[in-house]
Amino acid sequence: MLDVILLALKGLGVLVLGVVVLQLVLSLDLIKRWQLRHLPGPPALPLLGNLPQIIAKGSPAFFRECRAKYGPVFRVAFGRSWMVVVAEPDLLRQVGGKLLNHSMFRTLLGGEFAQLDEWGLVSARDEFWRQVRAAWQPAFSGPSLSGYFPLMAGCAARLADKLERLALQAQGQGQGGQVAGEQAAAGNEGQLAAGAAAGGRAGSEPARVDIWRELGAMTLQVVGSTAYGVDFQAMEPLPATTTTTSANTTGGGDNEKPAAPSSSSPSSSSYGRVLVEACRDVFKYSSVVYGSKYSRVGLLLPEWRPAVSVLAHAAPDPPFTKILTARTHLRDACMSLINAWKQQDGTGGAQEKQKEKKEGKENGAAAKGHANGAAAVNDAAAAGAAAGVAPGSFLGLVLAARDKSTGEGLTDLQVAAQVQTFILAGYETTANALAFAVYCIATNPEAEAKLLAEIDSVLGPDRLPTEADLPRLPYTEAVFNEALRLFPPAHATNRHTDKGPMQVGPYTVPKGFSVFMSIFSAHHNEDVWPRVDDFVPERFLPESPLYPEVAARVPHAHSPFGFGSRMCIGWKFAVQEAKVALATIYQRLTFELEPGQVPLKTAVGITLSPRNGVWVRPVARRPVPRRVVAAETEAEAAK
């Protein structure tokens, strides 16, 4: 008997040893190293690859160094994921011009979450991608963007109201101003609480806000009102007792309600702030640096991912719990939106609202929203709903999408994947870009003076921008473009060679690799950009002597929104939103940076973001709050 046990133990020992040896051999990645042997690149450790340098320096800075050392095309190992990095504008355009799939982004969450990731437009592949991209497209057409304009302006005005009130309180103006009065009358005490929470005790301490956070709330609010006609109430303060939903991986949809008082109901007052936190957590905890240790193990031992995933669910570490909770909340919110939309559509609500649109009621509502910050978003959301958020009703478009050959529509989970993608892509990138722009403006007084002069000359002190003003704000757009160059929120994108080998410059990349396109490196190429690390908006102005040096000579040197057929579908949406926001906010305020933030620390994950936020003191440009009005309202009144 003992012999049998000893034999079994010996067998087990041999098996374990065999697995360990096999794993060690696999960890050397001999085949991948051999396949990429003709490409230059930094030496990579077995198992860890270049992960230590990537974590220590951040991939944008590390790739910038590699470009200087190894040229514009090189290979790196992201743990055990071997990829080819491209870091030169012309080559980026060459790769981006090919109709290839994005590499799949895999988390350890599994189940429905994996499907939501797989089906969203960013990860969608081949025919399915074509179907959903076509469904998304009308939501970004000219007429749709025009329809979104008043909603965007309303959200920006509301943020400006809040910041101006905070600034005036801190400057000793108290709450007697007209805007504050209007908002209090509208019962919007939440915003006043936010002011106090942000440090604005009237007349005593300087108000201090993380403008990144506030802008994030605004961009989420914009997504809610433009895409879904829903008031996300994202700009309300998060109640102290509110938490995101408890993680639940098994169920789905509307029935599983989170812990009180949060909910996945679009009408709940804390809905938006909880959603903001959830979105932020999704980005933060997807990164190697802040994410779960299980994700790092999964990166190093891809062969063991299913087992690691089981382990992570069984004994989650705090980052895993965070991301699971956030993703659960987001999924429930998406399902909730779909259900709400279907119910509205079923009761004929959409048609009714369409009729109202014809009668022009939405214009009045939106214009009222401009003039009154507190009412702005409710009215704006109502205006959006009144328009059925038509003609660009995003949910309506996606629900109506049909497969060309079978005529079948998308499943609810496939629709939810698009809803989730719109929320995440539409919120984070634009918020980061705007926060970086505020940082750049605050650290460049000359640029700030030019920006204020342009806004004042076009809008004066008390008129909100209209769509017709947009082309008259070239410096404002140049400021945004230059902030996107220095701090591209989507610091990289990729293409996957799943169809076969691909030629990149002098190198052939074999089938089955991810080609990582470093937008950050292209934006920081000193051969292309004079004064590469300086903030010089003038380079984007055609009349500037710097313009022909870059924009005309290397047209794709500036590519914050990517390339070719997989280029960002929301770029015009983002630029319009950013211009409206910058013009509306800087018409009434400037910002002083809190000490200790120069140079700004950034965090690198799926996006490039400010690591600890951007802390500023808002300074009102005028001693008394102005009643900012929309041109349409005045015209209406004049009739």
Q: Which residues are annotated as a binding site for heme?
A: 568
What is the spatial distance between Cα 116 and Cα 472, in angstroms, rounded to a whole number?
41
Give helix 305-314 / helix 293-300 axis angle, nearest 10°: 170
Q: How far is the CB of 211 from ligand HEM (least distance, A)?
A: 16
H or E element in which residue 495 lies: strand 492-496
- Binding residues are 568
Nearer to ligand HEM, 357 or 496 (CB): 496
Nearer to ligand HEM, 150 or 562 (CB): 562
Q: Could you tell me if 461 and 480 are in contact, meaning their C-beta atoms sit under 8 angstroms apart?
A: no
> Locate tokens 């400037």: which residue?
590
What's the one-letter identity of residue 553?
A: R
What is the spatial distance between Cα 178 and Cα 624, in angstroms, rounded to a whole number?
8
Q: Residue 62 is encoded by which pair of tokens?
A: 């590390």
Q: How far is CA 72 from CA 76, 222, 627, in A?
A: 13, 38, 53
Q: Could you tell me if 367 and 346 are in contact, meaning their C-beta atoms sit under 8 angstroms apart?
A: no
Nearer to ligand HEM, 513 or 563 (CB): 563
H or E element in which residue 508 lies: strand 507-509
Q: How far is the CB of 517 from ligand HEM (least distance, A)?
A: 7
Q: How far is the CB of 139 from ligand HEM (least distance, A)?
A: 8
What is the spatial distance between Cα 27 and Cα 104, in angstroms, rounded to a whole number?
21
Q: How far is the CB of 259 from ligand HEM (least distance, A)?
A: 30
Nearer to ligand HEM, 96 or 316 (CB): 96
Nearer to ligand HEM, 294 or 563 (CB): 563
Nearer to ligand HEM, 371 or 431 (CB): 431
Q: Could you tell me if 188 and 243 are in contact, meaning their C-beta atoms sit under 8 angstroms apart?
A: no
> Locate tokens 């509301």: which residue?
158
Q: How far is the CB of 481 from ligand HEM (least distance, A)?
A: 10
H or E element in which residue 165 lies: helix 142-170
Nearer to ligand HEM, 333 or 433 (CB): 433
Q: What are phi and psi of 251, to 5 degrees?
A: -85, -170
Q: How far is the CB of 215 from ligand HEM (least distance, A)?
A: 11
Q: How far is the CB of 589 from ligand HEM (least distance, A)?
A: 21
Q: Could you tell me if 588 and 157 are in contact, meaning their C-beta atoms sit under 8 angstroms apart?
A: no
Nearer to ligand HEM, 295 or 429 (CB): 429
Nearer to ligand HEM, 516 or 591 (CB): 516
Q: Could you tell me if 205 and 170 are in contact, meaning their C-beta atoms sit under 8 angstroms apart?
A: yes
Q: How far is the CB of 536 from ligand HEM (least distance, A)?
A: 19
Q: How far is the CB of 45 from ligand HEM (least distance, A)?
A: 29
Nearer to ligand HEM, 194 or 473 (CB): 473
Q: Which residues contact 381 (CB under 8 A, 6 or more apart)?
A: 151, 224, 225, 229, 230, 231
Dump the DSSP string for 118-145: HHSTTT--HHHHHHHHHHHGGGGSHHHH
- Would you tell me which residues interact with ligand HEM (CB under 6 A)? 96, 102, 121-122, 133, 421-422, 425-426, 429-430, 433, 489-490, 493, 560-563, 566-570, 573-574
Q: How far is the CB of 93 from ligand HEM (least distance, A)?
A: 10
* Among the listed residues 213, 176, 6, 105, the one whose alpha carbon sits nearest the alpha carbon of residue 516: 105
Kindly give the residue spans of alpha helices, DSSP state H, lying in 176-284: 178-185, 189-197, 211-223, 271-284
Q: How far is the CB of 508 from ligand HEM (least distance, A)?
A: 21
Nearer to ligand HEM, 232 or 422 (CB): 422
Q: How far is CA 384 from CA 268, 376, 388, 451, 467, in A?
A: 18, 12, 6, 31, 17
Dump the DSSP string for 337-398: HHHHHHHHHHTTHHHHHHHHHHTTHHHHHHHHHHH-HHHHHHHHHHHHHHTTT-SS-HHHHH
Q: In what order do the strands lie in the sheet with 209-210?
A: 209-210, 615-620, 589-593
What's the one-letter identity of residue 37?
A: R
Q: Integer distance in angstroms from the first to the last C-alpha of the chain?
A: 102
Beta-ladder partners of 591? 618
Nearer to ligand HEM, 320 or 535 (CB): 535
Q: Could you tell me if 93 and 523 are in contact, meaning their C-beta atoms sit under 8 angstroms apart?
A: no
Nearer to ligand HEM, 78 or 563 (CB): 563
Q: How far is the CB of 489 from ligand HEM (least distance, A)?
A: 5
Q: How far is the CB of 129 from ligand HEM (least distance, A)?
A: 6
